[in-house]
Chain A
Amino acid sequence: MIEVVDQLWVNLKRMIVDHTPDQFRPLTSILLSIVPIVAVFPGLFALTTLLERKGLGRIQNRYGPNRVGWFGILQPLADGIKMLTKEDIVPRAADSVVHFLAPLVLLVAVLLSFSVLPYGRNMVPIDLDAGLLFFFAVGASTELAVFMAGWSSRNKYSLLGAMRAIAQMISYEVPLVLSAIPVVMLTGTLSVATIVSAQAQFSHGFANWNFFTPWGFAGGILFLIAATAESNRTPFDIPEAESEIIAGYLTEYSGFKYALFFLGEYLGLFALSALGVTLFLGGWSAPFQFLDWFPSWGWFFLKLLGLIFLFIWLRGTLPRLRADQLLRFSWKFMLPLCLINLVTAAVWHYSAQWALSAPFWIRLSIRLLVCLSIIIIPYLLLGTKLNPHVNKRTYRYAA
């Protein structure tokens, strides 16, 4: 029974493929891998917009959308219809071809990155040998879409917004990739499916997730921060900043193209969260052995929704960072910590073979202590001593 539910989608796909004529089999197989991605994640986007507005409402002590349908559950549908029927304005001086292509480039690049993620046991669309590299490569090409949007609008402010957004995305891509490197180093592969199956083992009934090791803990948090910045979410959403710089590179976009940009952005967030789940939170594996009966794809989406909830929470809680603070944070704080984390990973890995004649638990706690101090002491030093002028806050108007 458990097996059946767990492998439901895999078997369903195999059954359909087996019943198609021979010459259409590759095509059917490809379609059956693509269609769920294209259907599920935009659906999740619709759900997330509602959840986000409800959640933000809750945090800000108001109701949020509650007029359309039961508890506002049809609000995404209403939003979609509104976006579709809005007038699509292209500025007269704009470069219409590039203006049209920009949202498409963004969306295609983001959708491509979903093709290498493992959604459950045996549920990875393409298991590439260099899957992680593929993910980061297509993720990097979204910057071009942002540039195209800003430049083709023929609007100084759009262009400035685009430049600012690109500067941020490039700066945070470095810690993003660097925080993923320890996982690759210790698993010894770039294949995303193998990274998950390495974490899907239990020791003492407890999952072997990377997040439960010192380097994985630090790396996971660094990855999360970099992912927030990479997908332009609060507190790193100065590229858009609707209330201050009228949405940066999106200023000249309206109607459905604007909606496409938002779809692309949210899908990018989902893809990065899914990668974070895969790299650090054990992908589709259960946290405890006695919970292993729950279907693997269920775990994956539960963890994904958990991360999305965390992002909504952060958005409701934190204020926006200034552009210079944001860049300084990336280069002077996150980058050194990511590099130190590499050392932590190496120490943790090699200290497992220490020939120390002590019981297992004592050895483990010594290793934990050493590794945690390698990462926490630089964190404290970087936060206080090395950047002293940054931390001085003066409140001029608030009493």
Chain B
Amino acid sequence: MAGVTIGSAIAAMSLRNIVHCALLLTITFSGLAVLYLQLNAQFVAFAQILVYVGAVAILIVFAILLTRGSERTPDASQKKRGLGWGLLVALGTFGVICKAILSSRLLSPNAETAPSAPVKLIGRQLMENYVLPLEIVALLLTAALVGAAVIALQERRRPE
């Protein structure tokens, strides 16, 4: 499954047709969801499908189709400079994730095996321990929604 996920991710980066890239990206998302399922994290897996395959993929596709006018191929020099920066960012991210995994206590030999997280427990944690982050995220999303509506309204008013 990891093979499928990584393979489709690589293909998504290298294919020329940008809609194909988007479709392959959804395969990557679903592959990730299956990986979560194998790790016994049902809730996260289904949320992954619901949010990424159901919403983010559609959003990407809409964005591609609505901005088609600005489609152009980058020239060679731009590509090379992009490669350097890309490598730097990728290595940095890899390093940070490696450090996080190595320092996590799950790797220590006496960690309990496969903690299962039923939905009820997740809900309780969200509503009790993590209620402040949840509310902040909700506020942020509401603000984003209102902002989007305001932008859309202004654009419609202008041509009149």
B residues less than 8 Å from A143 (CB atoms): 54, 58
Return the CB mask of B110-124 against A: 1 if under 8 Å, else 0: 000000001110000
Q: Does any Cβ of B come within 8 Å of A364's Cβ? A: no
Q: Does any Cβ of B come within 8 Å of A151's Cβ? A: yes
Q: Does any Cβ of A come within 8 Å of B26's Cβ? A: yes
B39 to A: closest C-beta gap in Å: 14
Q: Does any Cβ of B come within 8 Å of A312's Cβ? A: no
State the main secondary structure of chain A at its contact with B. Answer: helix
Q: When chains A and B are docked, how far (Å) is the Cα of A143 from the Cα of B59?
A: 11
Return the CB mask of B1-33 against A: 1 if under 8 Å, else 0: 000000000000000000110010010001000
Q: Are B53 and A136 touching (Cβ within 8 A)?
A: no
A174 to B: closest C-beta gap in Å: 11
From B46, B54, B58, A130 is in contact (CB under 8 Å) with B46
What is the size, in residues, of chain A's interface with B at 8 Å between Cβ atoms?
A: 25
From A95, A130, A140, B42 is in contact (CB under 8 Å) with A130
Q: When chains A and B are docked, how far (Å) is the Cα of A137 from the Cα of B46?
A: 6
B residues less than 8 Å from A136 (CB atoms): 50
Q: Are B47 and A133 touching (Cβ within 8 A)?
A: yes
Q: When chains A and B are docked, how far (Å) is the Cα of A98 from the Cα of B55?
A: 20
Q: Are B61 and A141 touching (Cβ within 8 A)?
A: no
B residues less than 8 Å from A159 (CB atoms): 65
Q: Does any Cβ of A come within 8 Å of B130's Cβ? A: no
Find residues 140-158 in chain B having any chain A CB closer than 8 Å to their own CB.
Answer: none
From A130, A144, A166, A188, B26 is in contact (CB under 8 Å) with A144
Q: Does any Cβ of A come within 8 Å of B94's Cβ? A: no
Q: Are B50 and A129 touching (Cβ within 8 A)?
A: no
Of A134, A137, A143, A190, most buried by chain B (CB within 10 Å of CB) is: A137
Return the chain A residue nearest B26 by Cβ.
A144
Return the chain A residue nearest B47 by Cβ.
A133
Q: Are A163 and B65 touching (Cβ within 8 A)?
A: yes
Q: Does any Cβ of B come within 8 Å of A201's Cβ? A: no
Q: Does any Cβ of A come within 8 Å of B35's Cβ? A: no
Tell me how many residue pairs across A and B have CB atoms closer than 8 Å.
63
What is the size, in residues, of chain B's interface with A at 8 Å between Cβ atoms?
A: 22
Q: Are B57 and A129 touching (Cβ within 8 A)?
A: no
B5 to A: closest C-beta gap in Å: 16
Q: When chains A and B are docked, how far (Å) is the Cα of A133 from the Cα of B51?
A: 11
B residues less than 8 Å from A98 (CB atoms): 20, 23
Q: Are B42 and A129 touching (Cβ within 8 A)?
A: yes
Return the CB mask of B48-68 against A: 1 if under 8 Å, else 0: 011001110110011001000
Q: When chains A and B are docked, how far (Å) is the Cα of A138 from the Cα of B55?
A: 12
A148/B23 contact (C-beta < 8 A), A129-B42, A129-B118, A130-B43 known: yes
A residues less than 8 Å from B26 (CB atoms): 144
Q: Are B47 and A140 touching (Cβ within 8 A)?
A: no
Q: When chains A and B are docked, how far (Å) is the Cα of A128 from the Cα of B70?
A: 45
Return the CB mask of A181-202 against B: 1 if under 8 Å, else 0: 0000000111000000000000
B residues less than 8 Å from A137 (CB atoms): 46-47, 49-50, 53-54
A140/B119 contact (C-beta < 8 A), A129-B42, A147-B58, A148-B23 known: no
Return the chain A residue nearest B49 by Cβ.
A137
Q: Does any Cβ of B come within 8 Å of A170's Cβ? A: yes
B residues less than 8 Å from A147 (CB atoms): 58, 61
From B30, B50, B55, B118, A133 is in contact (CB under 8 Å) with B50
A residues less than 8 Å from B23 (CB atoms): 98, 144, 148
Q: When chains A and B are docked, how far (Å) is the Cα of A147 from the Cα of B50?
A: 16
Q: Are A170 and B47 touching (Cβ within 8 A)?
A: no
A134/B54 contact (C-beta < 8 A), A148-B23, A188-B120, A189-B120 known: no
B residues less than 8 Å from A129 (CB atoms): 42-43, 118-119
A144/B58 contact (C-beta < 8 A), A130-B42, A133-B46, A133-B50 known: yes
Return the chain A residue nearest B58 by Cβ.
A143
Q: Are A140 and B118 touching (Cβ within 8 A)?
A: no
Q: Are B53 and A144 touching (Cβ within 8 A)?
A: yes
A residues less than 8 Å from B53 (CB atoms): 137, 140-141, 144
From A140, A163, A170, A190, B49 is in contact (CB under 8 Å) with A140
The 8 A-B pairs at the shortest CB distance, nearest first, are namely: A140-B54, A137-B49, A137-B50, A133-B46, A137-B46, A141-B53, A130-B42, A130-B119
16 pairs, A vs B, C-beta closer than 8 Å: A129-B42, A129-B118, A130-B46, A136-B50, A137-B49, A138-B49, A140-B49, A141-B53, A143-B58, A144-B23, A144-B53, A144-B54, A144-B57, A163-B62, A170-B55, A189-B119
Known: A95-B20, A134-B46, A144-B26. 19 other contacts (CB 8 A): A128-B42, A129-B42, A129-B118, A133-B43, A137-B49, A137-B54, A140-B50, A140-B53, A140-B55, A141-B49, A144-B53, A144-B54, A144-B57, A151-B19, A159-B65, A170-B58, A173-B54, A188-B120, A190-B119
